[in-house]
Amino acid sequence: MNYKLTPTDYRDCWLILTPEEIEEEFGEYSHTSRHIRGFYKKFGLSKLKRSKQEFLERIEIGEEHSKKELFADELLHQKERVKRKIWNKIREYQKEWDYT
């Protein structure tokens, strides 16, 4: 029995990983990027690129360029954190349900 990413997993990934990155990272454990976009749209989370762009624009207004670099560093850190969290959930699920 394989684990499939849950709505909670997809919410954890929102604004951190794109649907394509989720599908690529988690492969068979993920739905397709199209399905993930549909999930985000259903819950009002579909404006991923626009949300990121608006956030970056707010950082740049009247602030130093290094703020954008700090954001990029933090985003990389958050990507690794959310990937690790979900992979740990997958491993735990596989251990629990692996009877071979």
Contact status, residue 60 vs residue 67, Cβ threshold 8 Å: yes
pTM for the full predicted model: 0.77
pLDDT for the residue 88: 97
Percent of the chain with pLDDT over 90: 46
Tens digits of residue pLDDT in 59-93 = 654 555 666 777 778 888 989 999 999 999 999 99
- Residue 17, Cβ density class (10 Å: 0-12 exposed, 13-18 middle, ≥19 buried): buried
Question: Rounded to a whole number, what is the distance in angstroms from the first to the last CA of the chain?
Answer: 11
Q: Is residue 1 part of a domain?
A: no
Between 72 and 28, whose confidence is greater?
Answer: 28
- Residues of the domain holding 76: 7-97
Q: Is residue 58 part of a domain?
A: yes
pLDDT for the residue 71: 75
Number of domains in the chain: 1
What is the C-alpha separation between 94 and 5, in angstroms, rounded?
13
Q: Is residue 71 part of a domain?
A: yes
Contact status, residue 68 vs residue 55, Cβ threshold 8 Å: no
Q: Is residue 48 part of a domain?
A: yes
Q: Is residue 2 part of a domain?
A: no
Q: Is residue 17 part of a domain?
A: yes
